[in-house]
A and B are shown apart, each in its own frame.
Chain A
Amino acid sequence: MSAFLPVLCVTLAKDMRLEWRSKDAINSMLFFALLVVVIFSFSFDLTAEESRRIAGGLVWVALLFAAVVALNQTWARELRNQVLDAYRVSPAPAESLFLAKAFGNFLFVIILEALMTPLFVVFYDLRTVGPPYQLAIASVLGTWALVVNGTFFAAMSIRTRSREVMLPLLLFPISIPALLAMVAATTAILTGENSPYLSLVFLAVYDIVFTIVGFFLFETVLHAE
């Protein structure tokens, strides 16, 4: 257990360095999300009032799709040169690998959100009625909900025959309750009509429960033979 934190930090630092040099995940996610936003905005010709009402859904659907792009690369990167096999035979704790990957993906998606927010404001003429700091809470909790399960299921789907296709098939059904809560929270904040408190608490509980489940089952998945 003493190796837990060092392994976590080293893996996270390695992923960040790789991403900083290649910018693979961020570039593909950003362009993908941009496409989704533009296509949505073409498909529904919206007034400002309408867009405030549905933007919560649009933002999270765009992010969910974009996140899958990055999540798929998480473990695919480790398949080259058999890094994942090396990890499997090493005594390093599997849980720290999982958390490092989850934190890494979390940072990518948060950066993506920061870059996307101006785009949404421009394309959908958005302006929050509720307090904007709550939007930050909702995005942190919601992103973690997507990413913690996404990292876990990416590790599962990488072991199947149809790799990239499998991840959304596993992740989306499990994420439906989280998605409902994210959309409810975001819509509540944007329209200012009701309090997002309940959905934020729900998201927090969802995050905690699935972090624990993923944390304890990850070793089983990593060593599945």
Chain B
Amino acid sequence: MKSTFTIFALLTFALLSYGLYQGLVAAPTEATMKDVQRIFYYHVPSAWTAFLCFFANFVASIWYLAGRNPKADAIALSTAEVGVVFCTIVLVTGPIWAKPIWGIWWTWDARLTSTLVLWLIYVSYLLLRRYSTAGQNPVLASVLAIFGAVDVVFVYMAIRWFRTQHPQPVVGGGQGSGLDPRMMNALLINWAGFLALALLVIWLRYRLERLRQQVEEAHAMKAIAGAARGTR
């Protein structure tokens, strides 16, 4: 277990370093945006990683509600926390790129706003976990995760339909067509690196949470045993 973790950590480090080289050096400079565009290799992989984390959180929450398995809850918690971190990276790198390119830090377009609302929902999820008492915490959190997942669909549609007075910004160097293969390469390698990093942190956080659960359980058992002795 420990050696697997070390190997995985080293692999993550290697992938991220190679991704850094690919993104900053190997990928060609974009024609109109110049070097500013290179933030794309961090922005987009973070976004994909964050969305995957939130999706994993949703699946783990359903799994928890179905079987009340504490492992599922530990996964839900760790993916939500890591997802919020990556989502924060997206929301910070976005404006850094937008200011020199669009001339503004922020615009209320569909993708930006839905990411922001997604972030808000998961921050409220983490707050709920912090403020609820230990026993009912996982149940309430799982229920909120399901509400959040349902809401994401509505958020996306609502912003597309009711916020259309704002022009859809042309995302230069966007995905799909027109992307240089070397750019695509840098993007995918960075994504692999970010995903590996996310998995690594989730793994650590999961182990920590499991330990916390076991300690809590041991305390509870001890208290019950003590109470049993006391009544005798």
Contacts and interface: CB of A to CB of B under 8 A. Distances in A.
B162 A199 contact: yes
B63 to A, nearest CB: 14
A32 to B, nearest CB: 22
Interface of A: 149, 152, 156, 159-162, 166, 169-170, 172-174, 176-178, 180-181, 183-184, 198-199, 202, 206, 209-210, 213, 217, 220-221, 224-225
A174 B161 contact: no
Nearest to B150: A213
Residue picked from B128, B154, B157, most chain A C-beta under 10 Å: B154
Interface string B105-141: 0000000000001001101100110011101100110
Nearest to A214: B147
Interface of B: 65, 117, 120-121, 123-124, 127-128, 131-133, 135-136, 139-140, 143-144, 146-148, 150-151, 154-155, 157-159, 161-163
Contacts of A173: 117, 120-121, 123-124, 148, 151
B140 A224 contact: yes
Given A177-B154, A181-B158, A161 B121 contact: no
B147 A199 contact: no
A166 B155 contact: no
Given A174-B121, A198-B161, 9 more contacts: A152-B147, A156-B143, A174-B148, A176-B151, A176-B158, A177-B154, A180-B158, A220-B65, A224-B140
A189 B143 CA distance: 35
Interface of B is mostly: helix
Contact of A161 (B123, B133, B143): B133
B146 A180 contact: no
18 contacts: A149-B147, A159-B133, A160-B140, A161-B133, A162-B131, A172-B120, A173-B123, A173-B124, A174-B147, A174-B148, A177-B155, A181-B162, A184-B162, A199-B161, A202-B154, A202-B158, A209-B150, A217-B143
Nearest to A166: B131
Given A199-B162, A221-B143, A160 B151 contact: no
